[in-house]
Chain A
């Protein structure tokens, strides 16, 4: 019976290109215990609950902005100014901004945790993510509350 050697990465066999995955950090008896908080539990729950609320907020937003009363053609400075003079729409946009940003940021946090392999890469990506999130949320909140319709 003949044995034939194939080179690793032979194109005819898709399995051949699968890399050997060496776990960079092994779980051992000395693996330090992470601090036990309910953070991951609340983050998981927040994703589900904010998702449900966002479906209503975002679909309502899209309906108003893009479809009703002439759709996108009606959106102008005056239209935005008119809407933000009403506390209802201020609160709507504020809640939508915060939920969407935190929902998206938390989703990206889990993606980074799942895909970044080196601890340093992970830390840098997360620092960038948190900075961008805080900046966008603060700027958006500031604009909603300090919007001046008489600006020239």
Chain B
């Protein structure tokens, strides 16, 4: 399987320049610790807005590394090499999506319980938060990589990526934070989970396809 070989390679590369994934983790940690300073250390307010804060920051963290995700390999010719050795564009797209999730989604999920405690969340709602992040962050990676593929070779990428990706990610934010909010007022959050899994399934079927088309276009241009 090319996918696993490529994935191993990608993980090796990202572990070599460890700065990138470390940057993501530090960005998440530092920005979240700004909220209690800005909003005020009131326990009730913090525990009420904590899921929203963590979800918004998960969304923003997923965007930070997008502008180099695909373009690095395209610029130094790696993508072209892979394509000329008969590896499908979809496989390349999938590798990039999984790498993006491993370097941004997973650290966010691992750090969320700690930050949830720091923001005065209750134990049970932290559990719900983790499940919602597990359902939602893969979609963030899928849509994020799609946005990264859209802006390959574009001018002003830094502004374009957030503008294109954030509106498409809003549903994830709404359902993700509503899971925890529903759980807090003793409502069943299953509906929101199912909607998020549904969105994930749609994104898994469509995003790799769209990314592969866009990669092909920017190589053959």
Q: Do A and B come from one complex?
A: no
